[in-house]
Structure 1
Amino acid sequence: MKQHTIFVLSFLIAIIVILILSLRPDTVKMVDQTLSEKLNNGNTIYYVVVGDSIGRGAGAETMRDSWHGQLEKLVKQRYGARMEGQHIVQSGATAFEGLYKLRNTELLIPADIIFLVFGENDRKYMETEEFAKHYELLIREAKVRAPNAEIITFIESPLNVQSFADQIQILSDHYGAIPIDMRAAYAQSGISVKKLNKDQVHPNRRGYELYANTILAMLEDYPNRKAPALEDSLYTQGDTPFHLTKTIDSQKGFMYADSYWTAGEKGSSIRYKIEGNTVGAIIKRNPNGGMVDVFIDHQYYRTINTNWPLVKERYIILATGLEEGQHKIEFMMNDDGLRFKGLDEKPFQLGGIISANILEKEIME
Structure 2
Amino acid sequence: MNRRIVGLMLASIFGLSILFFQLFEVTGARDTPEEADGFYERIAAGDDYSFLIVGDSIGRGSGASSPSTAWFSLFEKGVSEKYGSNGERISIVQSGATAFEGFMKYKDEKPSSPVNLVFLVFGENDRKYMNEKQFSYFYEKLLRVLRIDHPAADIVTITESCLAYEGFAKEIARLSKAYGATNIDMRIPFNASGLSPDKLTTDKVHPNDAGYLLYANEILKTIQEKSEAKNTKEIAVLPSPVNGNLGIDYKLLTNPSINSGFVNMRDGYFSKTKNSYLEYTFEGTMVGFLLERGPDGGMIDVTIDGKPAETLATWWPFERSRYNYIASSLEDSQHTIRFTFNGERLSTDSKSGQPSVKIKAIVVEKQ
Sort the TM-score into its range (normalised by shorter chain): 0.7 to 0.9
Counterpart Cα distance in 1 of 2:244 and 2:82: 40
Asked whether the equivalents of residues 114 and 149 of structure 2 are also in contact (C-alpha less than 8 Å), the reply is: no
Name the SS for the 1:55 alignment partner: coil
Rounded to whole Å, the distance in 2 between the matches of 1:188 and 1:106 is 36
CA separation in 1, counterparts of 2:84 and 2:161?
Answer: 29
SS in 2 for 1:104: helix
Paired AA for residue 50 in structure 1: V
Counterpart residue number, 1:311: 319
Alignment of 1:97-112 (within 5 A): 97-112=101-116
Alpha-carbon distance, 1:266 to partner:
0.9
Match of 2:365 among 356, 359, 362: 356
Unpaired segments ≥5 residues, structure 2: 1-25
How do 1:1-365 and structure 2 match up within 5 A?
A: 30=34, 33-222=37-226, 223-224=229-230, 225-335=233-343, 337=345, 347-356=356-365
- Using structure 1 for the length normalisation, give the TM-score: 0.86
Q: Which amino acid aligns with 2:101?
A: E
Post-superposition offset of 1:221 = 1.4
How much has 1:301 moved relative to structure 2? Answer: 1.0
Contact 2:162/2:187 (<8 A) preserved: yes
Q: Partners of 1:326 and 1:289 in 2: how far apart?
A: 30
Distance change in 2, residues 1:254/1:79 (3 Å): same
Q: Deviations over 1:224-246 (max 9, x none)?
A: 23352211101122422012111
Q: Is the 8 A contact 1:255 1:263 kept in 2?
A: yes
Q: Cα 1:29–1:144, aligned 2, differ >3 Å: closer, same or farther?
A: closer
Q: Map Cα deviations across residues 273-296 of structure 1 (whole Å, 9 max, x no partner).
A: 112211111011011111110010
Return the offset for 1:106: 3.3
- Aligned partners of 1:290 and 1:335 also within 8 Å: yes
Q: Higher mean Cα deviation, 313-322 or 191-200?
A: 191-200
How far did 1:339 drift?
Answer: 10
**AA aligned opposite 1:215:** I
CA distance in 1, matches of 2:130, 2:334: 20
Normalised by the length of structure 2, the TM-score is: 0.85
Structure 1 unmatched ranges of 5 or more: 1-18, 23-27, 359-365
1:190 Cα offset (Å): 2.5
Q: Using the alignment, how far apart are the partners of 1:334 and 1:277 within structure 2? A: 26
Partner of 1:13: none
Offset of residue 178 of structure 1: 0.5
Residue aligned with 1:73, SS: helix
* 8 A contact 1:286–1:347 mirrored in 2: no
Q: 1:324·1:357 contact (CA, 8 Å) conserved in 2? A: no
CA positional deviation for 1:109: 4.9
Measure the CA separation in 2 of the matches of 1:122 and 1:238.
18
Percent of aligned positions that are identical: 37
Instruction: Supply the AA of the counterpart residue of 1:352.
Output: A
CA displacement 1:72-117 (0-9 Å, x = unmatched): 1111111111011111000000000001111222304531111110
Structure 1 position 357, deviation (Å): 7.4
2:37 and 2:116 in contact (8 A); partners too: no
SS in 2 for 1:185: helix
Q: Which amino acid aligns with 1:220?
A: Q
Measure the CA separation in 2 of the matches of 1:313 and 1:34. 33
Q: Which whole-Å CA distance do the structure 1 matches of 2:49 and 2:247 have between them?
A: 28
Residue in structure 1 matched with residue 10 of structure 2 by the alignment: none
Cα distance in 1, alignment partners of residues 210 and 58 from structure 2: 14
- Over the aligned positions, Cα root-mean-square deviation in angstroms equals 2.2
Partners of 2:343 and 2:355 within 8 A in 1: no
Aligned length: 331
